[in-house]
Amino acid sequence: MMLRLVREARRAVASSELLGRAGGRRWLCTAMKGRLEGKIALITGGASGLGKATAHEFIQEGASVVLADINSQMGLQTAEELGPQAHFIHCDVILEDSVAGAVDAAIARHSRLDVMFNSAGVVGSLSGTSEMATLDLDKFDDIMRVNLRGTLAGIKHATRVMAPAGSGSILCMGSISGIMGCLGSYPYSLSKLAIAGIARTAAVELARHGVRVNCISPHAIATPMVVQQFSQMLQGADEATVTAIIRSLGELKGAACEAVDVARAAVYLASDDGKYVSGHNLVVDGGFTTYKYMNVPFPKPQDSE
């Protein structure tokens, strides 16, 4: 309990540091050890959204983070915002050499890699991707190249350095769209279904090298990617309206799915708290995908009168 309170205090201090209000409470940061103290993490898609939120949380837990992203402007800005424990490197996960280069850059800077989070992803357009008879296979390939091939490249090159070291935690970003139908386009849903499958499959081989591989599958969260998609679906609704709608889509009373929920799931899987967890798909959805109502035609009150 005490440890949790101190962690929360540390987080509050760190958040206020981001806002430039650290003041005299800075001592708390140096006094505590985090769950990722001294660990080195590489996060693809780390410039924005869930990757950025995870980078922030990892740093609060004592890690140093390399943000690998195709968007250099946003990546550099995010690294500056997160402070000296964050470093940006340009990376396009479509290109294997670029992913290999990001891993090598992390090693060159920190001499090792403890955590690899493959968070980079795209949702793509809904047109030409949502109906089977008119499925645009080029658009399918485009999304698969980023989401699936990019994740596979991340696992491959993290393994290249983690397996010889005999330890490491690889995380992949799934989605509830990879669990239930009709929550995303065909390419997006299939890419996420396959990502959970890759984590499971790779976990078998990598267990022999002391490397764990897990997947995180979140519910909808109002990140730039999802806000933009919903805004299109809702014919240009403004950001505040779209954000409120996204926050209302869950089932768990009194809570909405937030980026920090994914970030904390990632901390758990990356840290020794999850040291015996591998091949797992950690679904962060407030129970959304665990049930479905039957369309039972219950009599309405007036029918029984």
Ligand X SMILES: NC(=O)c1ccc[n+]([C@@H]2O[C@H](COP(=O)([O-])OP(=O)(O)OC[C@H]3O[C@@H](n4cnc5c(N)ncnc54)[C@H](O)[C@@H]3O)[C@@H](O)[C@H]2O)c1
- Residues with catalytic function: 188
> Does residue 43 bind ligand X (CB under 6 A)?
no
CB nearer to ligand X: pick between 13 and 216:
216
Distances (CA, A) of 143 to 40, 75, 189: 29, 21, 10
Residues from 111 through 170 that contact ligand X (CB under 6 A):
119-122, 146, 150
Minimum distance of ligand X from residue 225's CB (angstroms): 3
Dist. CA 54–CA 120, nearest whole Å: 12
Smallest CA-to-CA distance from 17 within 82, 75, 92, 77 is with: 82
Q: Is 54 in the site for ligand X (CB under 6 A)?
A: no
**207 closest CA partner among 169, 171, 151, 153:** 169
CA–CA dist 89, 47 (Å, integer): 10
Least Å from the CB of residue 93 to ligand X: 4
79 binds ligand X (CB under 6 A): no
Q: Which two tokens stand for residue 93?
A: 């996960």
Which of the 8 DSSP states describes residue 255?
-
Is 49 one of the binding residues for ligand X (CB under 6 A)? yes
d(CA 117, CA 224): 19
178 binds ligand X (CB under 6 A): no
Cβ nearer to ligand X, comparing 62 with 150: 150
Structure tokens belonging to residue 12: 């509050």
Q: In the window 190-229, what residues touch ligand X (CB under 6 A)?
A: 218, 220-221, 223-226
Q: In the complex, which residues of this chain contact ligand X (CB under 6 A)?
A: 44-45, 47-51, 69-71, 91-94, 119-122, 146, 150, 173, 175, 218, 220-221, 223-226
